[in-house]
Structure 1
Amino acid sequence: MTAPPAEVLDLFAVPDAAEPLPGGAGSSYRAGDLVLSPGRQAQVAEWLNPVLARLSVRLDEAPRRRRRDLRVALPVPARDGSWVVDGWGATRYEDGATTCRDLDVTLAAARVLHARLASAVPVRPAGLDHRTDRWARAERLVFGPAADLAAAAAGTPVAGVVRRAEALLDACDLGADQLVHADLAGNVLLDGYGAPVVIDVSPAWRPPLWAEAVAVLDSVLRLDAPRDELVRWSTGARRQAMLRAVVWRALVDQAEAVYDDVLDVVAST
């Protein structure tokens, strides 16, 4: 892990001492009252962070707020007003928060979050086109022409699992596209009162059902959620959402065997 350099700490006005945080990709650091995370794209943060900041404040200051209602980690700009400094972004540190490992809580948080985002961002942000990371590229392939997906997977370690999943895909309606968090599992914390706190929003303009399928898949594979949860996603629209989640993760991870095992469950009915 590489700690944030001195100029990043200076611009975010935090102490020189930065300590690594557990969880996630293991690349985030706490410095003072901020969490600093690398790999942020300035062109994405410029439109996304104001949305998240407004939502965070509205949720925290809602007149009838209860202690265990949803919260969103507050993005914090640097002293010069920029959201990203040398690839590093900052959010408010949530003291005492722990990773949520309860899938039901994660999905409930997802539904509230996505309902709020649908109201806050009714039109697809043009800034989404600036995402060039491998997650965004894989997402576009999963929802794009089948020929493009097959060509991208050909000759890769996941060609087999992509072909297998693609044969099961159909034109089932997954619901309307909107702004969603495409990486919820592990990015929902529980604060000291037990309120879910959403962090590290990975933006995509896709159906919420697909984002939920990704959360279920990741929770089973990475957070020890019961494998039986996959059975609930083996029919109808849920099955189609899960197939796309499997292909997406396989393309990103370039790992076949684990996703072949998931397909055994999802394709069993």
Structure 2
Amino acid sequence: MRMPPSESVLEAFGAAADPELLDGGQGHTWRASSIVLKPAGLAVESRWRASVLETLPDTDRLRIARPVRAASGDWLHEGWEAWHHTPGRTDPKRWDEAIKAGTAFHEAIATVARPDFLEGRDNWWTRADQAAWSSEVVEEVPSLRRLMEARVPVQVRSQLVHGDVLGNVIYTPGQPPTLIDWAPYWRPTSWAAAVAVVDALCWHGADEALIQAWSSLEHWAQMLLRALLFRMITDLESSRARGKVWQPHPAYTPVVKLVLVCADSAS
């Protein structure tokens, strides 16, 4: 059962309305008037993220969803975090705009130091990220193995990035886009764009023209390989955690072919 925030949590964040469950947010995000609330994950990560985002200015290219402090002054209360609600809607078919918003965000955080907590995270996504960037080829699933074997070493600068841009940009008429739900990774900015492209190809009707549209990004073919591995291995890890045998979703099949062709052409 999805439990809403308690009265104590609502009061702590100044949310003066009955909470309503929102779409997205993995089914655990609530809105109470102008406040959005969700269970915090890793506490140190939640506090760090809020402290970084609090300082970033809005620009004519991007707005930032602002965190809300609890009455205590902390960013968390009873395991919950809160954000100011942004009017508008997400639209994963606006892939070019999402990638541009991600680019603006990555420029804004380019000098933020790597936080120590990144090393200690252990979940489906972080294990998938590590496997996608590992030099090892360990998976018996043929499509994963082909993608892994197509990787070559690359020398490219990493920094903090948003690892899930496409569905986490809010569009409000007459305003710059607003980035929400920052999933921090220490990877190249071109990889973050590649994740958005892979998501658009797999789930939102984009075609191979989108690959070409962003092909000037650094080590593009190799970033696409790692982005697709990241998404597919996340699914694999999710299935394993539930004790299920994983089979790649049919939506991955044409994208695997496109990405392998791209990698072959770049070699």
Q: Are the structure 2 counterparts of residues 103 and 166 from structure 1 closer, same or farther at C-alpha, using a change threshold of 3 Å?
A: same
Task: Indicate the residue corresponding to 1:62 in structure 2.
Answer: none
> Counterparts of 1:87 and 1:225 in 2: how far apart (Å)?
38
Shift of 1:163: 0.7
Matches within 5 A, 1:1-269: 1-55=2-56, 58-59=57-58, 65-66=59-60, 69-95=61-87, 97-100=88-91, 101-119=93-111, 121=112, 123-146=113-136, 150=138, 153=139, 159-173=141-155, 175-230=156-211, 237-254=219-236, 256=248, 257-268=250-261, 269=265
Q: Which moved more, 1:215-224 or 1:242-251?
A: 215-224
Q: Are the counterparts in 1 of residues 202 and 255 from structure 2 also a CA contact under 8 Å?
A: no
1:78 and 1:85 in contact (8 A); partners too: yes
CA contact (8 A) 1:210 1:241 kept: yes
Would you identify which runs of 4 or more consecutive aligned residues in structure 1 move more than 6 Å?
Answer: 233-236
Distance verdict in 2 for CA 1:115–1:168, change over 3 Å: same
**Corresponding residue pairs, total:** 248
Q: Distance in 2 between matches of 1:195 and 1:234?
A: 25
Aligned-residue sequence identity (percent) comes to 32
In structure 2, how many angstroms separate the alpha carbons of the residues matched to 1:247 and 1:234? 18
TM-superposition CA deviations, 1:44-77 (whole Å, max 9, x none): 112221111101xx22xxxxx54xx311100112
| Change in CA separation of 1:85 and 1:139 when aligned onto 2, cut-off 3 Å | farther
Output the CA distance in 1 between the equivalents of 2:133 and 2:178. Answer: 29
Q: Cα 1:220–1:89, aligned 2, differ >3 Å: closer, same or farther?
A: farther
Q: Secondary structure at the match of 1:267?
A: helix
TM-score by length of 2: 0.84
CA apart distance, 1:145: 4.0
Q: What is the aligned partner in structure 1 of residue 243 from structure 2?
A: none
* Gapped regions of structure 1 (runs ≥ 5): 60-64
Judge conservation of contact 1:234–1:265 (CA < 8 Å) in 2: no
Secondary structure of the residue aligned to 1:172 is coil
C-alpha change, 1:261 and 1:70, in structure 2 (3 Å) is same
Describe the SS at the equivalent of 1:89. strand
CA displacement 1:2-26 (0-9 Å, x = unmatched): 3223332232221350012224534
The question of whether the paired residues in 2 share the 8 Å contact of 1:20 and 1:26 is answered with yes
The C-alpha deviation readout for 1:114-164, integer Å capped at 9, x for no partner, is: 111103x0x3111222433321222122223415xx2xx45xxxx322211
* Deviation of the 1:230 alpha carbon: 3.6
Give the 3 Å change call, closer, same or farther, for CA 124–194 of structure 1 in structure 2: same
Q: Is the 1:42–1:83 Cα contact (8 Å) retained in structure 2?
A: no
After the TM superposition, which of the residue ranges 27-36 and 222-231 deviates more from structure 2?
222-231
Unmatched runs of 5 consecutive residues or more in structure 2: 237-246
TM-score, normalising length from structure 1? 0.83
| Contact 2:208 2:258 (C-alpha < 8 Å) held by counterparts | no
Summarize deviations over 1:183-214 as a string: whole Å, max 9, x none: 00110111232411000000011100111100
Answer whether contact 1:36 1:89 (CA < 8 A) is retained: yes
Q: Distance in 1 between matches of 2:129 and 2:64?
A: 24
Quick one: which amino acid aligns to residue 173 of structure 2? G
SS at match of 2:161: strand
